[in-house]
Amino acid sequence: MKKHTTCAVAADQQLGSPARRRVFRIAAAGLAAGVGLNGRLAQAGSDGVAGPRVAIGDRLVEEDAEGLTVPLKVSDLTVGRPMLAFPYDAASKYARTDSRLNKVVLLRLPEEELDDDSKALSAGGVLAFSAVCTHQGCDLKTWMKGERVLACFCHSSKFDPLKQGKVVGGPAPRALPVLPLQLDGDEIVVAGEFSAAPGAAHQ
């Protein structure tokens, strides 16, 4: 899965280079009849952002933070109330807001509810997932306290945060990518890459 992500990003970057594009056109002319077209691949990762979505060691900052951006701590999150956030490179003071595909939803749950697998991905009971629904790309920010799922307003896709974002209802075709976290003191820190490429395939 990680390989796939790297590949898609690479294709994007290469498309940006004029020399590369010319080569592709030549290839296209020769292959059009045999290969046919594939819009879905053309879509992969096509948010026009060359930089990484997230880097290990990034902090997280609240999406709507006004004024100073302050890295989030566990105590900034209320149990059962999701928060939208962006990865933040503390050294360069750069919040990765240039693509909404970088957006994550943080959910704090009572630590005793997390099994070992979830604990390994969490920081003080806080779990992080891509906030972009894998169905049609809507923001995911609703915690259904009755069903204990993260739900999407657009088409009611439901994901279980305690099972690594597994789909448990609605039309979403794949799990919500998980972003592993760890603690540095009180601060929430990104501990790994997204488990899969964030976002939906539109075609």
Return the percent helix, strand and coil in the chain, to nearest 5.
30, 25, 45
**Minimum separation from the CB atom of position 196 to another protein (A):** 15
**Minimum separation from the CB atom of position 198 to another protein (A):** 10
- Write the DSSP assignment of 139-197 as a string of letters: BEEEEETTTTEEEETTT--EEEGGGTTEEEESS--SPPPB--EEEETTEEEE-S--SS-
Q: Which C-beta is closer to another protein: that of 122 or that of 157?
A: 157
Q: Which C-beta is closer to another protein: that of 113 or that of 153?
A: 153
**In contact, 66 and 164? CB cutoff 8 Å:** no
Q: Which C-beta is closer to another protein: that of 121 or that of 132?
A: 132
Which residues lie closer than 8 Å to 30 by C-beta, 6 or more apart? Answer: none
Q: Which C-beta is closer to another protein: that of 41 or that of 120?
A: 41
**Minimum separation from the CB atom of position 189 to another protein (A):** 26
**Minimum separation from the CB atom of position 51 to another protein (A):** 14
Contacting residues toward another protein, per CB under 8 A: 7-8, 10-11, 14-15, 21, 23-25, 27-29, 31-33, 35-39, 41-48, 64, 99-101, 132-133, 136-139, 141-146, 151, 153-156, 169-171, 199-200, 202-203
Q: How many other C-beta atoms are found inside a 10 Å radius of the C-beta of residue 38?
A: 10
According to DSSP, residue 43 is labeled H
